[in-house]
Amino acid sequence: MTENQDQPDPVWDAQAITAQLGREPRGVWRVAARCSGDWPAVVETDPRLPDGTPFPTLYYLTCRRLNAALSTLEAEGVMAQMQSRLADDSDLQDQYKRAHDQYIAAREQLGDVPEIHGFSAGGMPERVKCLHALVAHSLGVGPGVNPFGDEALELVSARGLWPHPEPCVTVETEVEND
Ligand SMILES: [Zn+2]
């Protein structure tokens, strides 16, 4: 496998995502953020799959190590703390609502899918239900948009878990490279 490529290679990306997820990426997709060794970290998917199924998850986290680090945060009760702060902070409510609106607007740039109008991800705009979805949004669009995605990334960064120095998937033979 070639790492640190100068140019993204869609075939290599598809192989890398398949190794990360254990299945091929669905629909029409592109890499929205990367982790170590230029592995994909977030995949952006068009909102309707080729078979017609609506696909609301614009940003999906593929990095196994970041997925695991966020699952740990969730198990520690971080989402309940975020949820209770959201209930008491109108500025945070406004930011989170803007993140929700931005998510939907970005998705609508890729296609109008009436079945998922008004629906974003991760519990937005009123609930904190999935750090993986919120962090995927933060990585996909950059800092300053999703307050809880940014915060979760800061927490895993403070633990030295993001960006992660190790290969994203350790068993390189999981990716066929010819
Ligand atoms: Zn990774």
Q: How far is the CA of 38 from the centre of ligand 1 (A)?
A: 9
Q: Please check whether residue 177 lies inside any domain of the structure.
A: no
pLDDT tens figures, 10-62: 999 999 999 999 999 999 999 999 997 789 999 999 999 999 999 999 999 99
The answer to whether residue 177 scores a pLDDT higher than 50 is: no
Does residue 28 lie within any of the structural domains? Answer: yes
Q: Is the peptide bond before 125 cis (omega within 30 degrees of 0)?
A: yes
pLDDT tens by residue, 107-118: 999 999 999 999
Q: What is the pLDDT of residues 59-75, one digit of tens each?
A: 999 999 999 999 999 99
In a domain, 170, yes or no: no
Q: What is the pLDDT of residue 165?
A: 84
Q: Is the pLDDT of residue 2 over 80?
A: no
- Does residue 175 fall inside a structural domain? no
Q: How many domains does the chain have?
A: 1
pLDDT of residue 171 exceeding 70, the answer is: no
Its domain, for residue 119, covers 10-160
Helices 90-109 and 147-158, packing angle to 10 deg: 100
**Residue 50 located in a structural domain:** yes
Q: How far is the CA of 83 from the centre of ligand 1 (A)?
A: 27
Q: What is the pLDDT of residue 178?
A: 42
The rounded Å distance from CA 21 to ligand 1 centre is 11
Q: For residues 9 and 55, which has the higher predicted lDDT (pLDDT)?
A: 55
Which tokens hold the place of 3?
A: 């790492």
Q: How far is the CA of 9 from the centre of ligand 1 (A)?
A: 17
Average pLDDT, the chain: 92
Q: Does residue 39 lie in a domain region?
A: yes
Tally the residues of the chain: 178
Does the global pTM surpass 0.75? Answer: yes
Cα–ligand 1 centroid distance for 168 (angstroms) = 4
96 in a domain, yes or no? yes
With respect to residue 105, please indicate whether it lies within any of the assigned structural domains.
Answer: yes
pLDDT digits (tens, 9 = 90+) for 110-162: 999 999 999 999 999 999 999 999 999 999 999 999 999 999 999 999 999 99
Burial state string for 74-107 with b = 16 or more CB within 10 A and e = fewer than 16: beeebbeebeeebeeeeeebebbeebbebbbebb
